[in-house]
Structure 1
Amino acid sequence: MARRSKAAVAVSALLAVGATAAGAVGWSTTHTGQDTKATAPVRVRTATVTRTDLSDSRTLPGTLGFGRSHVLRSTSQGVVTLLPKPGARAARGKALYRIDDRPVPVFFGDTPFFRTLAKTGVRGHDVSVLADNLRALGYDTGPAVTPAGPGEGEEFTPALAAALKRWQHDTGQDATGTLVPGRAVVLPGPVRVDTVEAQPGDAADAALLTYTSAAKSVTVAVEATDVGTIKAGHKAHISLPDGRTIRGTVTTLGRTVQGGGTAQDTAEQTGPATIDVTVVPDRAADVQSLDAAAVQVRFDTTTRKGVLAVPVSALVALREGGYALQRPDGTLVAVTTGMFAGGLVEVSGKALTDGLKVVTAS
């Protein structure tokens, strides 16, 4: 509401100046008949009615980085013998760390291995994760067997067990055709190791490390009352510390409202309520040299394409209400205003044409 009030005051001030300019031109073309000498015409500033695209944008501070970190806890029993270094990337089918000097490879998915997979015929999303990853690694798992009901996961078949056994043999593991929890770790994708929490010699059933997304993104705190104008898939412009501006895409709108507390709440809760919006650079190479940085993000929330527009200072407030534009000869053209953006205003009217010259106050 504060932004709108300021904009309204600014527009009112400009319109007042525009009205003054209009009055000046009107006076300069009035003759009393008592002039004995020709007077030089008053020079006025003009602008051109142009057809253009208008965008209502807002620029907000953001933080470039790898996003929120998550803790990886091992469910293995044993001793940690090898850990990755910060910055390492998790790769499908490759070991991320070692427990009792056994490699613990990575699978991608959204369901961890929470039980031993040994008996054929069992079904579940953990079985689906196993099958999907073995297929992605090039192993023939046979036809996928799924129940009639949706969302129950695949069946652990003899063909899938045989594929598991071949993969275990190829990666130097005990080729049992059985998967035990803790012998493989499930991660959401090719993540990046952020910090290492444990060290060799620690018990394995603890927090080992934290990880983040492997792709860099920008997190922007947007006031909850404004976030409705920003949608996933919208384009944004990211201004980097070195002066470059790159393009990005809104990928995620947070579901947790932060802040917005009252004076009785703790200091961390005061201030406007905000929601985190994630913007991913369209080209990862544009931010390759940066791991973290404070940036500015411009969101173009509303766009009007191919409209006629003039500077706001060209508007003349009419005494009877509404607005007009003034031609250099002093005549007025009634207009209807539309979107205001970047010092321009959308105008429409019967007598308006692209290229028309109009008087402006600045």
Structure 2
Amino acid sequence: MRRGKVLTGTATAVLLAGGGAAAFALTGQDGGTPAAAAAATAEITRSDLADTKAVDGTLGYSGRRALPNHARGMVSRVRKEGSVVRRGGWLYQVDGRPVILMYGDIPVYRTLSASASGQDVRQLERNLKALGYDPGTVDGDFSRLTGRAVREWQDDVGLAKTGMVDASQVAVASGPVRIAEVTAEPGTPAGQSAVVTTGTRRVVHVDLDSADQRLARIGAPVTVELPGGDGVRGRISAVGTVAEPVERDGRSTGESTVDLEVTLAASADLGRLDQAPVTVNLRSEEHKDVLSVPVEALLALREGGYGLRLAGGRVIAVETGLFAAGRVEVSGDGVTEGAKVEVPGT
């Protein structure tokens, strides 16, 4: 069927309404007179149409993790929750000895000492230099100068001057970290972790229903409603690629979600809110200045595609575009702004 063609003769259309289908016959010429009772009408309107949805999210910080601890002894000092630690700062202390933060992407997985070489040595040298010590050439070889810089650093921060570095002295992160939670209070044995850290970037996490993935586009703008009612702008910065099954009372619900991360505008005034519930208004796409009708006005045509029944009984075929906010974008011959179309009566 060509766009805008009027149905003539005897045809069948199915009215899409409320998730069900009510079938009725069209008889006579030029659409004829409907056998069904008179329906209510709605206007074809022109406006901007956007596919949006409000979902629940949690405002927090990026990169939450339980920081591995390799120091043995009794936790003697911890920082306050919410504290930010930068390169060279201590994260917590065990038996009076600090565990120091250094930047990088290679964990301290071995003891670094004279004659060692590799990218982890280069990372150590880079950090020592940034902290004001001279490790010699930053080349990945643990030289005599590297050992001397290590001893000077150890003396300044309160570590034994061994000239060797291992995981009991240093923890590695990609940048500054925030102490989100203290998991080992002073006076308790140091376990597998003493603190939970996050990055310093504020983000919103959303467990998005897999059925709504059309709304999850990296870079798409969103608005976030904070607990106090204020709204801030943000953008989708990450979308998970693995669907996680949803369980209730230990049993699968048959539903699934994907992880969604929203980065908020740098100018947003968020105070110290952490793990706070928020509402995220997602938007997939927007079509400007289009004609639309209520979704329930659509007819599924026997010949294929969709149509509209104009007030008076004539049925026209239409092309559909964006579905959003209970409306659908329509175009085709006979589709004009202000025209009345039939919709199911209430």
TM-score (norm 2): 0.70
Contact 2:42 2:293 in 1 (8 A): no
**Residue deviations 1:9-40, cap 9 Å, x none?**
24989999xxxxxx9xxxxxxxxxxxxxxxxx
Q: Tell me the residue number matched to 1:211.
A: 197
1:184-223 correspondence to structure 2 within 5 Å: 184-204=170-190, 206-223=192-209
Are residues 139 and 346 of structure 1, via their aligned partners in 2, closer, same or farther at CA, if it must alter by over 3 Å? farther
Is 1:133–2:127 an aligned residue pair? Answer: yes
Q: Tell me the residue number matched to 1:291.
A: 274
Letter of the 1:267 counterpart: D
Q: Tell me the residue number matched to 2:84.
A: 89
Contact 2:100 2:171 in 1 (8 A): yes
Q: What's the offset of the Cα at 1:75?
A: 1.6
**Residue deviations 1:108-142, cap 9 Å, x none?**
23322222212235114x22432343354465656
Q: Tell me the residue number matched to 2:339.
A: 358
Letter of the 1:358 counterpart: A
Q: What's the offset of the Cα at 1:273?
A: 2.4
Partner of 2:245, secondary structure, is: coil
Letter of the 2:307 counterpart: Y
**Residue deviations 1:54-103, cap 9 Å, x none?**
33233322222346853334322444322112222221111222233333
Identity %: 30
Contact 1:325 1:335 in 2 (8 A): no
Is 1:276–2:276 an aligned residue pair? Answer: no
Task: Give, in whole Å, the separation in 1 of the partners of 2:168 and 2:59.
Answer: 34
Are residues 177 and 309 of structure 1, via their aligned partners in 2, closer, same or farther at CA, if it must alter by over 3 Å? farther
| Counterpart among 323, 327, 348 of residue 307 in structure 2 | 323
Q: What's the offset of the Cα at 1:238?
A: 2.0
1:11-50 correspondence to structure 2 within 5 Å: 48-50=45-47
Task: Give, in whole Å, the separation in 1 of the partners of 2:189 and 2:327.
Answer: 65
Larger % of strand: which? 2
Segments of 5+ residues of structure 2 without an aligned counterpart are 1-14, 25-30, 32-40
Letter of the 1:312 counterpart: P
Q: Tell me the residue number matched to 2:219.
A: 233
Contact 2:307 2:315 in 1 (8 A): no
Q: What's the offset of the Cα at 1:204?
A: 4.1
Partner of 2:268, secondary structure, is: helix
Task: Give, in whole Å, the separation in 2 of the partners of 1:14 and 1:64.
Answer: 45
Size of the aligned set, in residue pairs, is 313
Task: Give, in whole Å, the separation in 1 of the partners of 2:43 and 2:211.
Answer: 39
Segments of 5+ residues of structure 1 without an aligned counterpart are 1-6, 17-22, 24-43, 146-153
Letter of the 1:104 counterpart: V
Q: What's the offset of the Cα at 1:310?
A: 2.5
Partner of 1:130, secondary structure, is: helix
Letter of the 2:104 counterpart: G
| Counterpart among 230, 234, 250 of residue 236 in structure 2 | 250
TM-score (norm 1): 0.67
Contact 2:62 2:200 in 1 (8 A): no
Q: What's the offset of the Cα at 1:341?
A: 1.2
| Counterpart among 70, 79, 96 of residue 75 in structure 1 | 70
